Structure formats: structure tokens, C-alpha cells
Amino acid sequence: GRVAAAFAIASAATILLASVSPHGGENIDQLLRGEILTADLHEFETIAVVYGLVLAVTLWLQRDLLLTSYDPDMARVLGKRVRRTEATLLVLIGLTVSVGALIVGPVVLFGLLVLPPLAARALARSMRSFFAWASLLGVVAALGGVVVSFEFDWALGPSVVAVAGVLQGPATLAARLRHQRSAA
């Protein structure tokens, strides 16, 4: 709730400050909406390098990150440097969010960072399957968003988020059916 409240307040402040900006709200609106289709080669290279680095560090430190995130006391007992691992995780999250928000816009970024994992949570039985489901649903949302965008002539970013939101229904239904089968 606090994150959502902070996001809402920051968004409102951005819009209000943009209205008094000498550059006008058009530049700020483009920044907020994110123009995925107009991303140039430099932006693509930037996002590829940063996200590749984040992926490599995450895979390299996967066990330490999971242990520190879910059981910091056990991590301390095992001699792990909890503060350093938490700081590394925060830097990785910061890089992911800042680069993504600048290039694709906050709506698409937060839609893809939040909605596929929520759907995956309903489907997954382990952390490994959670990561796999979240990744798969993110790809499906992105590809489905492209199709919806071209089919209905809608903006690409919001179309991707809409498809990611629609995927919540089938994921929840599949989880309920699985739960009913296991209860029977």
C-alpha cells in the first residue's frame, strides 16, 4: 500500500510540475507514457547491457539473494554478509527500475514487474516454477500486447499492460481448479 501511495503521489506531483514547466507537459507526458516503438539503438543497447548485467549478477548470487531475502537470520548463521547482499539486491532493483522507467516508461515497467509475478504466484508450486511462470507470462503479455496494439490500433505500452492484466483471470482460474482437484 505504501509503494502504491508513493507512486500515486509522485505521479501527481510530476504532472503538476509538468504543467508549470517551460518545456510543457508534452515532454513529460512522453516520458510517463514511454514510447517503446521510438526507442533508438542507443536505448536498446543501454537496456540490453544493464538488464544483461542484472541477470548475470542475479544468477551468480541467486542462492545468497534468496536466502537473505527469506531468512536473513539463517544467512547470518551460515556466515553470509546479509547487509552486502541486501545492498546488492537494492542496487539491482534500482538499476532495473530506473533504466526501464526511462526507456519504456513507468506504466509498462511496473505492469510487467508486478502483473506476471502475481499471476505466476497462483500457478507456481516452487520458486523455480515461480520464476519460470513469471518469465513466461511476461513474454506472453509482451507478445500479446503487440498483437492487441496492432489489431485495435492502440498504444503499445498500455496494450502490453492490459494483456498482462487479462492473464490474471486464467491464472487464478487454473489455480482454483488445481486446488479443487487436490482437495477432492
Q: For residue range 18-34, what is the model confidence (pLDDT) as tens digits?
A: 777 666 666 666 666 66
Tell me: the pLDDT tens digits for 138-173? 999 999 999 999 999 888 888 898 999 999 889 889
Cell numbers for 55, please give them: 541477470
The DSSP output letter for 47 is H
What does the chain come to in residues? 184
The torsion region of residue 39 among left (phi > 0), alpha (psi -120 to 50) and beta comes to beta
pLDDT at 1 over 60: no
Task: Report pTM.
Answer: 0.73
Tell me: the pLDDT tens digits for 97-124? 889 888 888 888 888 988 999 999 989 9
